[in-house]
Every structure is written in structure tokens, then in C-alpha cells.
Amino acid sequence: MSSEQKPSKSPIPGIIIGVIFMVAGTYVSVNITKGPLEALAKQGILLDPGKTLGVVGVFLVLFPAIKVFYLNPLTEAINRRNSDIERTFSEAEDLRTQMTAMKSDYEQRLARTEAEAREQIQNQIKEAQSLRGQLMQEAASKADELVKKAQEEIENEKTRVMFEIRSAVVNLTLTATERVLGENMTDDRNRKLVEEFINTVEVPS
């Protein structure tokens, strides 16, 4: 708070009046008879107009010096103190406003961060569930392929083994027949007859 500087009044009129009061007081003390004052003093009324005027004059003369050396510095110190207090309160109010704004901004950032984190977690859960379903589907598909491939390999192996067994049976049959009949039975027509016979008596698997 800046206090407005009022124009200072000249102390000369007060000093002149003070000097006049001092001179008048001295004159009254010297020239006025003490009879009436003594009579009043006997009645308990102590009155000395000369001294009173002199004290008033001395005060009027000394008041400018008292004002310059005591009252003015005291007033300035009080004004500075008031300005410091008002500035401190203003700074405290500004700081409180800044702290309130910072708190509000922090709370908004925290809420936004929590919302983003929650959304990211939900998205990751959805991605994990989708990946889990995809992996399970791929695993089931691969398992089906492996089972199908195994079945095909089993059938191929079964066919190969049956072919080898049939060929062995045909060879054994032809060899046994040759030994029984004493004739060569290894030509294609004999082999074909034996194979057709085995096919007719083969037990279905």
C-alpha cells in the first residue's frame, strides 16, 4: 500500500507562536502580582498562567523537532510495516491460488493417467484373450492335422504291410505247390490265380 505524500506544512508559524507564548508567559510571571494567585493557592487551586503559557510555548517550539526526529520516522516505519504485511498477505494469497491450481491440475492428471492405465489394461486383457483363443484354435487345427496325418500314415503302413504279407503268402503258396506237384508255378498266370484266391478268403480288417 503506497501512502500518498501530503504536502508538509511549514513549522515556522508554530515556532513563532511558541516564542510568543514563551515571552507572554515570562511577562505574566514577572508582572502579574502574586496576590490573587496566593489567595487561590490557599483555597487549594494552584494556578500559574505564566508557567502554563511558557510550557505551551516550549511545546510549540519543540514540536517540529519532535515531529522530524520521532513522529515522522515512527509513521514511516508503521507505513513500511503495513506495506510489508499487505505484501506478505498478497504473496500468500497468490501462493495459495497457485497451490490450488497445481492441486487441481495434479488431480486432473492423476485421473487422466488412471483412466489411460485402466484402458490400456483392458485392451491388453482383450488382446490376451484374443491371442489365447487364436492359439487354442491353431493348436486344435494342428492337432487335427497331426491326427489326420497319423491316420493316413497308419493306413499307408497297413496297406504296405498287407501287401508285403500277401506277397509273402503268394510266394509261400507257390513254393509249397511246386514242392507238392513238382512243377514250376512261378509264372504270372499261376501267381495271379493265387492272389485272386487269397483276396476271396481274406478277412476284412
Same domain, 19 and 99: yes
Domain boundary among 72, 87, 106: 106
Residues 20 and 101 in one domain: yes
Structure confidence by residue, pLDDT tens digits, 101-115: 999 999 999 999 999
The domain containing residue 160 runs over which residues?
A: 155-201
Please indicate, yes or no, if residue 124 is contained in any of the structural domains: no
Residue 26 lies in a domain: yes
Q: Is residue 38 part of a domain?
A: yes
Answer yes or no: are the C-beta atoms of 86 and 1 closer than 8 Å. yes
Domain stops at, among 82, 106, 130? 106
pLDDT digits (tens, 9 = 90+) for 146-156: 888 888 888 88
Mean pLDDT over all residues of the chain?
Answer: 77
**pLDDT tens readout for residues 115-155:** 999 999 999 998 898 888 888 888 888 888 888 888 888 88
Judge if 19 and 78 occupy the same domain: yes
174 part of a folded domain: yes
> 36 with 96, same domain?
yes
Number of domains comprising the chain: 2
Does some domain include residue 6?
no
In a domain? residue 3 = no
Is there a domain that residue 120 lies in? no
CA separation for the pair 67, 186 (Å, rounded): 154
pLDDT on residue 99:
92
CA distances for 86 relative to 4, 49, 180, angstroms: 16, 49, 137
Q: CA-CA distance, 79 to 195, in Å (whole number)?
A: 132
User: Could you identify the residue written with the cell 504473496?
Assistant: 91
Last residue of one domain, picked from the residues 106, 139, 174: 106
Distances from the Cα of 84 to the Cα of 2, 75, 77, angstroms: 11, 14, 10
Residues 90 and 162 occupy one common structural domain = no
Q: Is 190 inside a domain boundary?
A: yes
- How much is the pLDDT for 180? 62
